[in-house]
Homo-oligomer: A and B are copies of this chain.
Amino acid sequence: MATAADITHIACVVYPGYDALDLAGALEPLTMLSSNVPFQFYVVGPSLEPVTTKVNASVVKTVSPSFGQSIAPTHTYDNPPEKIDFLIIPGGMMFLDPIERQQPTIDFVKKTYPKVKYVLSVCTGSVILAQAGILDGKRATSNKACWAWVMENCPNVNWVAKARWVVDGNVWTTSGVAAGMDGMFAWITQIYGEAAATVAANVIEYDRHTDASWDPFSDAWRTTDPDHGKSVQPKFTE
C-alpha cells in the first residue's frame, strides 16, 4: 500500500465533453491539502489546445451548445509528465456521444495505469477505466443516472449498484459528479488521515459523506431493480 510519501506527482486527464464539476470537485480537497503537501500537478489532454466541457453539439441536441468552459492542458497524451503517482479521471456525458470519441484518452489511461500508485475516477470516468481494461473483474461504480448504459457498455466489470464510491486495490471509482468529492475525501483520509480531511472540508465548507455505502441516488434511479435498463432510462430533462 502506497503512503503519503509516495504521492508527489498528481495528474488528471481532460477530453472534449468532460464534466467540469467532476474534475473541480475531486481536485479541490487536494488543492487545500497542497497547503502542506508540495504536490506537482498536471492537466493532460489530447493537445495543448484548451479542452471544452461542451458536449458534441452534432450528437447532443438537448444541452445548450453554448454552455461550458474550456481548460488549458499543461501536457499532452503524446508528451505526458515523466512521473504520475495519482491519476484522476473525470467523467462526462459520454452516453450522449460515441465512446470511440474518447479512444485517445482510453489509450493514455491504459498506458499510464501500470506506472501509477492510485487511480481515481469520478462519474462515468469509470467507463474510461473499463474501456482500458483496468476494471476487468474488479468491483467499481459509476453515475447512477446512466446505469443501464454503463452496464451495457462495460460488461466485464463487477458493477456495484449502490455505492457512493468503491475501492478495489489501487483503483477508486466514485458515483456521479458530486460523489467525486466524497471519494477524494475518503482517499485523503486513508493516505493523510482524518484531521487533514476535516481541515480541507471545513475550509471549502463541504458537508461530506464518509460512508461508502450511502447512496440515495441508487434509489432515485432504481439501479438495484432487476429490471433496471428496461424500466429506467436516463432522463436529463423534465
CB proximity to B under 8 Å, residues A154-193: 175-179, 181
Q: A175 vs B202: C-alpha distance in the bound complex, in angstroms?
A: 11
- Check A108 for interface membership: any CB of B closer than 8 A: no
Q: Does A235 contact B (CB under 8 A)?
A: yes
Instruction: Assess whether A69 is in contact with B27, with CB atoms less than 8 Å apart.
Output: yes
Known: A68-B41, A70-B71, A207-B216. A199 touches B24 (CB 8 A): no
Q: In this assembly, does A229 line the interface, its C-beta being within 8 Å of a C-beta of chain B?
A: no
Q: Mark A199-238, 1 if CB is under 8 A from B, else 0.
A: 1001111110100000011001100000000000001111
A205 with B175: CB separation less than 8 A = yes
Chain B residues lying within 8 Å of A25, measured Cβ to Cβ, are: 21, 24-25
**Does residue A114 face the partner (Cβ distance < 8 Å to B)?**
no
Instruction: Tell me whether A43 is interfacial, beta carbon within 8 Å.
Output: yes
Interface size on A, residues (CB 8 A): 59
Closest to A64 in B: B34
| Nearest residue, chain B, Cβ from A214 | B207
Q: Give every chain B residue within 8 A of A207 (Cβ-Cβ).
A: 178, 207, 209, 216
Q: B20, A27: Cβ atoms under 8 Å? A: yes
Q: Which of B20, B68, B144, B205 contacts A143 (CB 8 A)?
A: B205
How far, in whole Å, are A41 and B64 apart by their CA atoms in the complex?
Answer: 9
Q: Is the CB of A179 within 8 A of B205?
A: yes
Chain B CB within 8 A of A127 CB: no
As a 0/1 sequence over residues 124 to 154 of chain A, the CB contacts with chain B under 8 angstroms (1 = contact) are 0000000000000000000111000000000
Could you list some 10 contacts between A and B, CB below 8 A?
Answer: A19-B28, A24-B24, A36-B238, A37-B64, A38-B64, A39-B64, A70-B71, A71-B72, A145-B202, A178-B206
